[in-house]
Amino acid sequence: MYRNRTVDNGFIDNRVIQEVQRIVYEGGLPARIMFNDQNEARPPQPEDVKEISEIYIRDDGWSLGASYLYAQNVRKLWEDAWVVHLRKQTWGWQVNSLRPKEKYHD
């Protein structure tokens, strides 16, 4: 079971950085993908690559991807725990931080 592990000192957990690198630079897949509007997820298969348009990464490094149709469902699941959002573009993955700016400053 997931337990929120938000780091209050403003640093991002190394597992998050490693997951971003694995997906963006190594062409990896998320840990799981949501495949219907009932919020059911499963491990991704190689054929899912074309369908995954967005990936969210939690503050503990766990990732969940989805097609455009289910991306908002994913966002709502652990809304306070997502720290990185990846959106597929024609040129690769656009990486967005979801942490509030005040988390980075003292």
What does the pLDDT look like over 6-62, one tens digit per residue? 444 456 789 999 999 999 999 999 999 999 999 999 999 999 999 999 999 999 999
Size of the chain in residues: 106
pLDDT for 29 equals 95
Going by C-beta distance under 8 Å and a sequence separation of 6 or more, which residues neighbour residue 71? 53, 54
What does the DSSP 8-state code read for residue 20? H
How far is residue 20's CA from residue 56's CA, in Å, rounded to a whole number? 10
Half-sphere CA count of 73, side-chain side, radius 13 A: 16
pLDDT for 2 equals 42
Average pLDDT, integer, range 74-80? 91
Going by C-beta distance under 8 Å and a sequence separation of 6 or more, which residues neighbour residue 44? 29, 30, 32, 33, 52, 65
User: What SS3 state is found at 88?
Assistant: strand
Which of the four pLDDT bands, split at 50, 70 and 90, describes residue 106? very low
Which of the four pLDDT bands, split at 50, 70 and 90, describes residue 100? low
Average pLDDT, integer, range 83-106? 79
